[in-house]
Amino acid sequence: MKPIRFKEVNKTLTKPSDMTTSQCSSLPIASSGSHCFSCWGISLKERIKILFRGKIWLTVRSGETQPPVKLTIDKPFC
């Protein structure tokens, strides 16, 4: 999966300084001040895997705790 830009983007999160570009890339987001939204594109191969396996994994780099997160297929903007 790769992050993609969308019209509501108003901020870009950059990778941590201790990670390489192959480990992590910049993430375009829309920030409301209380929520951050990102959009991800998936390849045909990934779509097929999702179809048959029915799973998507979320990794959040944090440490002690995990902030609240949500995955959805519906655009969060009305």
On whether the CB atoms of residues 39 and 76 are closer than 8 A, the answer is: no
pTM: 0.78
User: Does any domain span residue 22?
Assistant: yes
Mean of pLDDT over the chain: 88
pLDDT digits over 22-43, tens only?
Answer: 888 889 999 998 889 999 999 9
User: Does any domain span residue 18?
Assistant: yes
User: Does any domain span residue 65?
Assistant: no
**Dist. CA 67–CA 42, nearest whole Å:** 24
Give the per-residue pLDDT at 75.
85
Handedness of CA 9, 11, 12, 18 (dihedral sign): negative
- Listed in sequence order, the residues at least 6 apart from 29 whose beta carbon sits closer than 8 Å to its beta carbon are 9, 10, 11, 12, 13, 36, 37, 38
Domain that holds residue 45: 2-53
User: Does any domain span residue 11?
Assistant: yes
Give the per-residue pLDDT at 28.
93
Percent residues over pLDDT 70 in the chain: 96
Give the per-residue pLDDT at 24.
87
User: Does any domain span residue 74?
Assistant: no
User: Does any domain span residue 78?
Assistant: no
